[in-house]
């Protein structure tokens, strides 16, 4: 069909956009608006789902962490806490949903090593340190800096490095264990060393999985102090079963159940929530 | 002085012993009269040279197994490839002196009625090219193999099995006449190396000395790498690979580096081995050879630098002895030795001595501290245990 020349005086013909185009434009605007809100967050999970052999470990989980916030995550066994950590740190890729760090870094596109370099540190449930190396060397390997094999080969120790290590040793109360092999530390000290290794990475966000499991009461109190100290300068997510410990932290609590958020708020609010009570006390 | 402290006294001692051997054994062989008590007979020199090559191979394996925790059951493949590269050079040096007198083609090619030299045999008439290939072929194979294996996160026993499959596949390939490496018979009947007759006592002595120097350089290299931050990183990868990943390192590159360097060292060992034993054939790719290397490192003590060297020298020389005295029993002796070491000396010979020495020193310090403790006046107020001087200080 030939296009008609527009005659002078006549109004220009209005071309109505394709309905899909309108819909897409609206969607894009909504996405941008969401992105704007998202940009202010440190960690943003939306509609994340992950299933293993049909079992939904994470089911449409949405969670937002603000910059500088400390959050405790509780939930019964199998609630998806560790899988959530795996997704954030790149160990597991979600089936669907969005995971953003610092607002616009899509974590699903990165692997563990590059997520660690972006500034997310993770402490495992079982203390995982380099047992055949001494405490100082454990920290040295964790210090922020180049992660290339050849730079490690040429590496020379510097005074700044030593100063940082001193500082972390003091924070984690391990100064007198400096030259001990990590294998010779007590369980609690290994946990602190691992937290120290996270600090050495200088991350913006720390994910800490059950830090006080197997600790004595004194060690638990010390760990709470350590985490509160860390939380002054960084964002921290703590997964924990120990309610006394969570109370000691005194932060906002998220309760997970069957892979999604059941309740969120202060510990008192969450523990008064009838759904939480039901989940914990059984049906 | 700084370097001495950097590498530790043991590495320097080992290097000094090797360099002394490189000088003294050829001197004794060539200059001392045959009836002198310190004379090293001519048939012993290449035998010792062979052991030194094995020691370098064991050291190479230990770089990946002892330090990074990758149990390679296919290191014999890199050794054999280095050996074949040297063998090809030695074949080309034969020239018209072969049985068939062909100036270009090695005997087996004439025998197989090949008209011209296959493309991959070109350049091997030059020593520098062969030397380059000794390093490049095993290094490249290890790099490509490691790239795929480590990036796909193949670890543990699965990795061991595919390294074993690698050497077995090469064994089958090199057995074929069509491969162009002499098939079943391999490459042999070498005449000279760099213009020197290969059977001559002086050449043998020089090859022995070269092997010692190569091993000394290998020891220095492994010592320097393991003492660097990369060395700590290797230990870290061995102990807790996922932890290294979550603090931002890429363990696959650490492994790839160690594996490639190790393969190059194994290739050099093979290249020095071939002129001293006078033959290279596909048997060198046999999986059992690679397993024997693992046994050397395990018996000597893995991750100790000195251990694999001691293990290789010890086991290889006892193999020579037992296969001469009671050839049927050697495999039982080897198996028995491995079982014994695994059960009673899990750290290997050197590792056990080290551990015992360290434990003894700590006990000594502790008992001294305790003596000081009891020697204090009884009127002193009771101290809390944490206030006591720690034995580690």
Mutant choice from A121, A129, A144, A152 vs B, greatest count of B C-beta within 10 A: A152
The verdict on ipTM greater than 0.85 is no
- Identify which of A133, A147, A200 has the shortest CB distance to residue B236: A133
pLDDT at A282 over 80: no
pLDDT at A1 over 70: no
* Residues A179 and A135 sit within 8 Å (Cβ to Cβ): yes
CB proximity B233 to A under 8 Å:
yes
Q: A33-68, pLDDT tens digit by residue? A: 766 677 788 999 999 999 998 888 999 999 999 988
- B228: closest CA of chain A, how far (Å): 6
List the single residue in A with minimal CA-CA distance to B238: A130
Q: Is the pLDDT of residue A197 over 60?
A: yes
Domain-wise residue ranges, chain B: 2-287
pLDDT at B383: 41
User: Which residues in chain B come in under a pLDDT of 70?
Assistant: 1-6, 373-393
CATH of the domain at A168: 3.40.50.300
Residue A13 lies in a domain: no
Q: Which residues of B touch A141 (CB under 8 A)?
A: 229, 232-233, 236, 244, 247, 249
* Residue A37 included in any domain: no
Least Cα separation, residue B239 to chain A (angstroms): 6
Of B228, B235, B248, the CB nearest to A117: B248
What pLDDT digit, counting tens, does each position of A207-224 carry? 999 888 888 888 888 898
The answer to whether residue A107 sits within a structural domain is yes
Which residues in chain A are closer than 8 Å to B230, comparing Cβ atoms? Answer: 149, 152-153, 155
Inspect the interface and report whether the beta carbons of A153 and B235 lie closer than 8 Å: no
Chain A interface residues (partner B, CB cutoff 8 A): 89, 91, 112-114, 116-117, 121-122, 124, 128-133, 137-138, 140-142, 147-149, 152-155, 176, 179-180, 197-198, 200-201
When divided into structural domains, chain A yields a total of 1
Q: Which residues of A touch B150 (CB under 8 A)?
A: none
**Residue A127: predicted pLDDT:** 86
Spatial distance between the Cα atoms of A123 and A213, rounded to a whole number of angstroms = 12
pLDDT, residue B216, reads: 97
Give dist(CA A256, CA B94) in Å, integer.
77
Q: Which 3 state secondary structure label does DSSP give B186?
A: coil
Which chain B residue has its CA at the smallest distance from A180's CA?
A: B392
Is A156's pLDDT higher than 70?
A: yes
Average pLDDT, rounded, for chain A? 88
> How many CA atoms lie less than 13 Å away from B315 in the CB half-sphere?
32
Task: Calculate mean pLDDT across residues A2-27.
Answer: 72
Across the range A225-253, mean pLDDT stands at 89
Q: According to the model, what pLDDT value does residue B1 have?
A: 39
Q: Is the pLDDT of residue A12 over 80?
A: no
Which residue in chain A has the smallest CA separation from B237? Answer: A130
- Domain with A251 in it: 42-281
Tokens, residue B240: 């807790």
Contact B311, B337 (CB under 8 A): no
Please name the member of B243, B246, B253 whose beta carbon is closest to the beta carbon of A130.
B243
User: Phi and psi (nearest 5°) for B115?
Assistant: -80, -40
d(CA A130, CA A196): 13
Q: What is the pLDDT of residue B370?
A: 80
In a domain, A50, yes or no: yes
User: Which of A113, A128, A149 has its CB closest to that of B257?
Assistant: A149
Q: How far is CA B43 from CA B33, B195, B198, B204, in A?
A: 15, 22, 13, 10
Instruction: Evaluate if residue A4 carries a pLDDT over 80.
Output: no
Is A36 a domain residue?
A: no
What is the β-pairing status of strands B187-188 and B279-280? antiparallel
Select the residue of B230, B239, B245 nearest A149 (Cβ to Cβ). B230
State CA B178 to chain mean position distance: 30
Share of chain A above pLDDT 90, in %: 51
B261 in contact with chain A, both atoms CB, cutoff 8 A: no
């Amino acid at each position: 069909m030939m296009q008609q020349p527009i005659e002078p005086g006549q109004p220009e013909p209005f071309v109505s956009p394709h309905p899909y185009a309108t819909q897409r434009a609206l969607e894009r605007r909504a996405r941008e608006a969401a992105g704007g809100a998202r940009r202010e967050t440190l960690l943003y999970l939306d509609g994340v789902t992950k299933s293993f052999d049909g079992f939904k470990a994470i089911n449409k989980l949405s969670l937002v962490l603000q910059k500088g916030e400390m959050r405790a995550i509780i939930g019964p066994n199998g609630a998806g806490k560790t899988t959530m950590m795996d997704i954030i740190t790149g160990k597991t890729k979600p089936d669907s949903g969005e995971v953003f760090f610092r607002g616009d870094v899509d974590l699903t596109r990165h692997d563990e090593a590059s997520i660690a370099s972006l500034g997310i540190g993770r402490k495992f449930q079982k203390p995982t340190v380099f047992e055949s190396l001494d405490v100082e060397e454990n920290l040295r390997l964790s210090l922020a800096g180049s992660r290339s094999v050849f730079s490690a080969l040429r590496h020379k120790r510097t005074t700044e490095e030593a100063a940082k290590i001193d500082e972390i040793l003091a924070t984690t109360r391990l100064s007198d264990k400096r030259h001990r092999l990590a294998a010779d530390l007590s369980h609690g000290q290994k946990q602190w060393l691992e937290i120290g290794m996270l600090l050495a990475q200088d991350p913006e966000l720390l994910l800490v999985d059950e830090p006080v499991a197997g600790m004595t009461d004194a060690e638990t109190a010390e760990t709470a102090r350590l985490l509160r100290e860390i939380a002054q300068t960084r964002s921290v997510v703590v997964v924990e079963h120990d309610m006394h410990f969570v109370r000691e932290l005194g932060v906002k609590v998220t309760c997970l159940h069957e892979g999604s958020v059941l309740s969120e708020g202060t510990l008192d609010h969450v523990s008064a929530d009838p759904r939480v009570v039901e989940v914990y006390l059984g049906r | 002085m700084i370097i001495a402290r950097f590498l530790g006294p043991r590495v320097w001692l080992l290097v000094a012993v090797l360099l002394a051997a490189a000088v003294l054994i050829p001197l004794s062989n060539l200059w001392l009269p045959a009836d002198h008590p310190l004379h090293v007979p001519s048939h012993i020199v290449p035998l010792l040279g062979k052991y030194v090559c094995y020691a370098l191979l064991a050291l190479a394996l230990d770089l990946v197994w002892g330090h990074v925790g990758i149990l390679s059951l296919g290191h014999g493949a890199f050794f054999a490839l280095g050996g074949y590269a040297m063998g090809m050079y030695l074949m080309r040096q034969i020239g018209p002196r072969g049985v068939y007198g062909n100036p270009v083609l090695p005997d087996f090619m004439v025998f197989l009625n090949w008209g011209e030299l296959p493309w991959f045999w070109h350049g091997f008439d030059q020593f520098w090219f062969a030397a380059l290939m000794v390093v490049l072929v095993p290094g490249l194979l290890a790099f490509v193999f490691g790239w795929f294996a480590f990036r796909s996160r193949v670890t543990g026993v699965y990795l061991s099995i595919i390294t074993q499959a690698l050497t077995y596949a090469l064994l089958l390939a090199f057995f074929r006449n069509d491969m162009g490496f002499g098939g079943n018979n391999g490459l042999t009947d070498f005449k000279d190396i760099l213009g020197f007759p290969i059977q001559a006592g002086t050449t043998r002595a020089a090859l022995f000395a070269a092997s010692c120097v190569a091993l000394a350089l290998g020891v220095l290299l492994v010592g320097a790498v393991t003492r660097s931050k990369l060395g700590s990183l290797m230990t870290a990868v061995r102990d807790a690979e996922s932890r290294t990943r979550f603090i931002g390192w890429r363990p696959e590159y650490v492994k790839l580096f160690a594996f490639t360097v190790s393969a190059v060292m194994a290739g050099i060992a093979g290249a020095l081995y071939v002129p001293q034993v006078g033959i290279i054939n596909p048997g060198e790719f046999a999986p059992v050879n690679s397993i024997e290397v693992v046994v050397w490192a395990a018996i000597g003590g893995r991750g100790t630098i000195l251990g694999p060297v001691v293990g290789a020298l010890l086991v290889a020389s006892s193999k020579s002895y037992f296969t001469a005295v009671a050839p049927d029993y050697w495999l039982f002796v080897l198996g028995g030795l491995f079982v014994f070491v695994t059960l009673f000396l899990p750290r290997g010979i050197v590792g056990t001595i080290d551990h015992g020495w360290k434990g003894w020193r700590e006990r000594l310090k502790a008992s001294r501290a305790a003596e000081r403790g009891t020697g204090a006046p009884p009127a002193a107020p009771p101290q809390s245990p944490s206030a006591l001087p720690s034995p580690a200080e």
